Amino acid sequence: MKQFTIPNIYRSSLISAIKNKRKQDDKLKKDYSPTLLDFGGLHIYLARHFGFCYGVENAIEIAFKTIDENPGKRIFLLSEMIHNPQVNADLQARGVQFLQDTYGKQLIDFDTITKEDIVLIPAFGTTLNIEALLNEKGIATEKYNTTCPFVEKVWNRSEQIAKKGYSIVIHGKPKHEETRATFSHAAQNSPSIIVNDMKEAIELAKYITGEKESSAFAEEFKGRFSQGFDATKDLQRFGVVNQTTQLASDTQAISDYLKQVVKTHYQLTDATIGERFADTRDTLCYATNDNQTAVSGLLETQADLALVIGGYNSSNTSHLVELCEQKLPTYFIDSANRIADKHTVTHCNWITKQQTVTNDFLPQKDIVKVLITSGASCPDALVEEVIRKLAGFYNADDLVDELLTEFE
């Protein structure tokens, strides 16, 4: 896989050494057991896969290269490059301005942008309307487009099945940048609708079976379907694609459920299901899948708590928190600074986004066992900072560098 050039401030010698060692020992990526870091009174278990993915590193490389190659030019980002506060703050410190917030609210009017300016499209992609608006201004969107290739893969697959007469059901968070972009691309080619979760998928299925009257559809799914969408005919043939940062297992479950509904309703067999339901399993993002599967492997280890590191508005990170919370006390933090001392941590609720202070989060026992993972937009340097901070509480600072030598 391509190696990207990104600022060293995001790299970690320790984490790089661990990842390289695991890669050498497990070239086929079949071992999802965690890596043990033994600090005596503290055992840290690192997930097999975590941190920056291909799409994130690609976006960061393009962004910082653009800044270096265009001194004196105004550089804008459509919205956050990725959902990590440090990376976005670093870009702003280099003079980059955000045109919109993460929910599409305008921060700087498009009318102030000229063809002399540079506008970076973030890793999530953007809508066709915004892309057309920028192109009309003479702005070269293709040159500064950091859209993740795996997001584009979802768009391409949607277009392929649309040409075969299928409608598109998108599993995603309706307000998320990526979902808005995917919906825009899908809706250009085919009737499209967004479902947020299994609960909504179940309700959508009732329009397929006729259990619900089509007259109720417009209100129930308001703002989440393409113009002219007709529930009576546009749900007769469709495929399911996803926002790539959703739980892969959730997308698969929704797809399997809707497939079974279609199969039963139209009395189809495994051989004929393709007449009504398109196979889109190949749109699941490898990095999202790897990180989530690695957390499942991580959770097989008996531990006292889990720390999940990443931006609070990061969808993929939130789902890692969701998985960990099902098993043990979990603290969602965006930096080592959230850990005040051996007793106190300030952490975020992945659903409400409210922050809470918890005392005595590290238990008093001979050996404390902590599971650690991070989101796809979290720099490895932040993970190392958390490890070093925890090790310091157990007078094991020197062991961090010894471990680095060991893994190298």
Q: Which domains does the chain have, with CATH numbers?
A: 8-53+287-407 (3.40.1010.20), 54-136 (3.40.50.11270), 154-284 (3.40.1010.20)
pLDDT band, residue 321 (cuts 50/70/90): very high
How confident is the model at residue 344, as a pLDDT?
Answer: 97
Is residue 233 very low, low, confident or very high in pLDDT (cuts 50, 70, 90)? very high
Residue 102 pLDDT level (bands cut at 50, 70, 90): confident
Q: Which residue has the tokens 């062991």?
A: 399
Burial 217-240 (b: 16+ CB within 10 A, else e): beeebeebbbeebebeebbbbbbb
Output helix, strand, coil percentages for the chain, rounded to the nearest 5: 45, 15, 40
Half-sphere exposure of residue 122: CA atoms within 13 angstroms, side-chain side: 30
Residue 364 carries which side chain, given as an amino acid letter?
Q
Global pTM reads: 0.89
Residue 135 is predicted with a pLDDT of 93
Report the alpha-carbon distance of residue 245 to residue 155 in Å, rounded: 15
Q: Which positions are catalytic? A: 178
How far is Cα 205 from Cα 22, in angstroms, rounded to an integer?
43
pLDDT-above-90 percentage for the chain: 88
pLDDT of residue 3: 81
Residues 141-159, mean pLDDT to the nearest whole number: 92
- The secondary structure of 178-247 as a DSSP string is HHHHHHHHHHHHS-EEEE-SHHHHHHHHHHHHTSS-GGGHHHHTTTSB-TT--TTTTTSSEEEEE-TTS-
pLDDT tens digits for range 186-229: 999 999 999 999 999 999 999 999 999 999 999 999 999 999 99
Residue 285 has pLDDT above 90, yes or no: no
Q: How many CB atoms lie within 10 A of CB 242?
A: 27
Continuous H helices in 124-169: 128-136, 149-163
Residue 167's DSSP bridge partners are 238
pLDDT of residue 196: 96
Among 357, 358, 389, smallest CA distance to 372 is for 389
- Least confident range from 66-75, 280-289, 347-356: namely 280-289
Return the bridge partners of 356, or none.
347
pLDDT at 1: 63
pLDDT tens-digit readout, 11-46: 999 999 999 999 999 988 899 999 999 999 999 999
User: Where residue 281 falls among pLDDT bands split at 50, 70, 90?
Assistant: confident
Q: 225 and 194 in contact (C-beta within 8 Å)?
A: yes
Give the percent of the chain with pLDDT over 70.
Answer: 100
pLDDT at residue 402 tops 80 = yes
User: Is the per-residue pLDDT at 184 higher than 70?
Assistant: yes
Instruction: Write the pLDDT tens digit of every residue in 361-379.
Output: 999 999 999 999 999 999 9
